[in-house]
Copies of this chain bind each other. A is one copy, B any other.
Amino acid sequence: MSEFPIIERNRVRRVPKRGQYDKDTIYRILDEGLVCHVGLAEDGQPVVIPMNYARRDDAVILHGAPASRLLKYVQAGHPVCVTVTLLDGLVLARSVYHHSMNYRSVVVFGRGRLIEAEQEKLAALEVLTEHILPGRWQDARRPNRQELDATAVVSVAIESASAKVRTGPPADDEDDYQLPVWAGVLPIQQQALTPVNDPRLHTDMPVPHSVSNYRRTR
């Protein structure tokens, strides 16, 4: 299956032409993002928490302290929502009304389970680490037994998902194209700046290529 079925829960309702349901689009967005926003519902009270994440196959992996309220909630199997948004630009139209943003977002619905087996847990932590910086699992010291015990890792199986994408210039009303107003797109991009050495770094330690050549887009 390369497309998530469109059901009531994941159907894109506002501007439906922007909705996309194929796994390729959805997974490319999930693989580019660095932060997701995880939504819980606790007795009718929604809570949205930013987290690191990574996708592995048809699941989103989250991790944190075993005492984390959020992870306890997720691993209990309650329904959760995981949303990732990439902002690509400000869409500056001639009319205030047609101002918009170019973006790519994904909303995932699913339920989590705790990853308990040591090998699977290590594999999931490798995916999380490599998601942030490819090569880092090789370069850094891997987790020891004590650190593994102090880390909870959950896997949220993606039951349903949708992407929403806007690209391109503003779409003004026909009459407005004659107005003396600059219109266009101001592209926005999350960029890596110059790496900052740890103050306690040995003086002869070069910045690895994985860091100095960091590019988020895959």
Interfacial residues, chain A to chain B (CB-CB below 8 A):
9, 13-14, 34-35, 37-42, 44-50, 52, 64-65, 67-69, 78-83, 85, 87, 89-90, 92-97, 99, 101, 103, 105, 107, 109, 125, 129, 132-133, 136-137, 139-143, 147, 150-151, 169-170, 176-177, 179-202, 205-208, 211, 214
Q: Which of B48, B92, B184, B196 contacts A184 (CB 8 A)?
A: B196
Would you give the shortest CB distance from A158 to chain B, in whole angstroms? 14
> Helix, strand, loop or mixed for chain A's interface?
mixed
Contact A214 B193 (CB under 8 A): no
Contact A188 B188 (CB under 8 A): no
Other 12 A-B pairs with CB < 8 A, given A92-B133, A139-B181: A14-B65, A34-B90, A40-B46, A44-B44, A46-B80, A47-B81, A97-B150, A141-B176, A169-B198, A181-B205, A182-B197, A183-B197
Would you give the shortest CB distance from A163 to chain B, in whole angstroms? 12
Q: Name the B residues within 8 Å of A52 (CB-CB).
A: 101
Known A-B contacts A83-B50, A143-B95; A182 and B207 likewise in contact (beta carbons under 8 Å) = yes
Contact A188 B193 (CB under 8 A): yes
Contact B38 A140 (CB under 8 A): no
Contact B50 A182 (CB under 8 A): no
Contact A188 B186 (CB under 8 A): no
Would you give the shortest CB distance from A69 to chain B, in whole angstroms? 6
Task: State the CA gap A118–B40 with chains docked (Å).
Answer: 35
Contact B37 A136 (CB under 8 A): no
Contact A44 B79 (CB under 8 A): yes
Q: Name the B residues within 8 Å of A169 (CB-CB).
A: 196, 198-200
Q: Name the B residues within 8 Å of A90 (CB-CB).
A: 34, 132-133, 192
Q: Name the B residues within 8 Å of A101 (CB-CB).
A: 34-35, 52
Q: List 8 A-B contacts (CB under 8 A).
A: A34-B101, A37-B48, A46-B46, A92-B136, A92-B140, A169-B200, A182-B201, A185-B196
Would you give the shortest CB distance from A129 to chain B, in whole angstroms? 5
Q: Which 10 A-B pairs have the closest CB atoms?
A: A41-B41, A39-B46, A39-B48, A37-B37, A50-B85, A48-B83, A187-B193, A183-B198, A97-B147, A41-B46
